[in-house]
Amino acid sequence: MSRTIACHECDLLHRIGDMPQGASARCVRCGALLYRKKNNSLDRTLAFALTGMMLFILSNTFPFLAFKIEAQVQQTILLTGIRTLFDQGMRTVAVLVLFTIIIVPFLQMAGLLYLLLPLKFDRLPPGLPQVFRFVRWLQPWSMMEVFMLGILVAMVKLMKMATIVPGVAVFSFLALIFIIAAMTAALDHHQVWEKWDELR
Amino acid sequence: MTFIQKTSLNHGLISCHSCHLLCRRNSSAGIMRCPRCGAGMHLRKPYSIQRTWALIISALVFYVPANVLPITTVISLGKAQSDTIMSGVIYFIRTGMWPIALVIFIASVFVPVLKLLILILLLISVQRKSAWRSKDRTRLYRITELVGRWSMVDIFVVTILVALVNLGAMATIHAGPAAFYFSAVVVITMFAAMSFDPRLIWDTEASSHG
């Protein structure tokens, strides 16, 4: 089945025919990625979202980093920094950090679970277009990998001052970054819309 | 050789920016809604140039206090020492940790400036209806969209520092006002990149041949 689409970056019209699994189509004029056909996209995305949810719970409940100077130990969880910022009067910054490293990743995973679990059993979740549009809108605001770089920089900065002990949450957070990246990469949004067209 | 490139613009079609469904354009209705996903449909992002300019100018305004005011204040045994973004970078260079200095410099100084300069270049070239190296300009746009988020790294460093160094009178780190202005710069430039429509780069090409 061939269909016509316009390049989302330069508006040139293309006819895309049947493509083998794993193949990708690029715009002939500007080189933008038009479409990539992915294997078992929806199943894989669902599996990553489920795994991610478990890691998310670990990352937010277990000890994150501990800071030791002589006898004093400062134990933190992921939320501690956000709370401290809030208490210091940096409310906007605290909310932004909360949004980009906790709320957005959670909503992305929860949204995809809400959409893909019923679709797996050929049922339509109510409000699919709105929820899916929202999940895609969230994409650039998920910044966990940037936060990980921030952890590294902060650790180096404090290395001379004290001992820093990474907790369980640091490792589950690192794993979560890879799972979310894999989840985003596995999702073929055309397949969601095809399923929607087929079921509604 | 001149030929008219087939675009949705010159073929009476419209592409949904959200689900990429291609539809026939309906000239009578005010705002068209995508028949598949329900998103409002626009041939080009509305007021793309004006919006992007407005956001760039606000980002430039916020960029000044972000670099001049302190981003952290360390209070240790009654003494307070404030650092700006740049003095933090210099501290890392002095203590020999230049890879970290480089990371902070690239993420906090180089990337925001580069992003603003690229967007300004794109806006001016689009407004002058330039057909100069459209493919490279589209690539520049793609880069600005990808790298913007990494500027948040310094804000995250501050978040972790205030959480860890919270030992009462012995040592405490406070976030400074620059944290607010700098995060505003990051968010505003991200919105600026989103509001720019890269298809405008190619529209001039189609009309100059047609």
pLDDT exceeds 60 at position A25? yes
Instruction: Give the A:B interface size as CB pairs under 8 Å.
Output: 188
Phi and psi at B22, nearest 5°, equal -100, 125
Residue-wise pLDDT for B64-101, tens only, equals 999 999 999 999 888 899 999 999 899 889 988 888 99
Q: Are A9 and B22 within 8 A, CB to CB?
A: no
Residue-wise pLDDT for B141-170, tens only, equals 999 988 989 999 999 999 999 999 888 778
Share of chain A above pLDDT 70, in %: 100
Q: Give the nearest partner residue to B13 out of A6, A84, A90, using CB atoms.
A: A6
Select from A10, A142, A143 the residue whose CB has the most chain B CBs within 10 Å, as the one to mutate to test that interface.
A10
Pick the more confident residue, A19 or A149: A149
Over range A111-136, report the average pLDDT: 94
pLDDT exceeds 60 at position B207? no
Q: How confident is the model at residue A17 (pLDDT cuts 50, 70, 90)?
A: confident
pLDDT exceeds 50 at position B210? no
Distance, in Å, from the CA atom of A15 to the CA atom of A7, rounded to the nearest integer, reads 11
pLDDT exceeds 90 at position A93? yes
Q: Tell me if A75 sits within 8 A of A192, measured CB to CB.
A: no
| Separation in Å, CA of B28 to nearest CA in chain A | 22
pLDDT at B2: 46
pLDDT at A3: 81
pLDDT at B89: 93
Q: Give the nearest partner residue to B5 out of A29, A154, A193, using CB atoms.
A: A29
Concatenated DSSP letters for A130-167? HHHHHHHHHGGG--HHHHHHHHHHHHHHHTTTSEEEE-
Phi and psi at B158, nearest 5°, equal -60, -40
pLDDT exceeds 80 at position B5? no
pLDDT exceeds 70 at position A190? yes
CA angle B156-B110-A81, nearest 5°?
A: 5
Nearest residue on chain A to B160, alpha-carbon basis = A81
pLDDT at B38: 84
Q: Give the nearest partner residue to B7 out of A13, A81, A153, using CB atoms.
A: A13
> What are the structural domains of chain B?
1-43 (no CATH), 46-209 (1.20.140)
Q: Are A84 and B202 within 8 A, CB to CB?
A: no
Phi and psi at A8, nearest 5°, equal -75, -10
Q: Which residues in chain B are closer than 8 Å to A84, comparing Cβ atoms?
A: 162-163, 166
pLDDT at A106: 97
Category of B110 on φ-ψ map: left (φ > 0), alpha (ψ -120 to 50) or beta: alpha
Q: How confident is the model at residue B1 (pLDDT cuts 50, 70, 90)?
A: very low
pLDDT exceeds 70 at position B197? yes
| Separation in Å, CA of A3 to nearest CA in chain B | 9
Nearest residue on chain A to B177, alpha-carbon basis = A90
Over range A77-102, report the average pLDDT: 95
Q: How confident is the model at residue A141 (pLDDT cuts 50, 70, 90)?
A: very high
pLDDT at B3: 53
Concatenated DSSP letters for B102-145? HHHHIIIIIHHHHHHHHHHHHHHHHHTT--TTHHHHHHHHHHHH
pLDDT at B4: 64
Distance, in Å, from the CA atom of B195 to the CA atom of B205, rounded to the nearest integer, reads 21
Q: Tell me if B202 sits within 8 A of A10, measured CB to CB.
A: yes
pTM summary value: 0.90
Q: Are B153 and A149 within 8 A, CB to CB?
A: yes
Quote the crossing angle between the two packed helices A144-158 and B98-105, to the nearest 10°.
Answer: 140
Pick the more confident residue, B44 or A91: A91
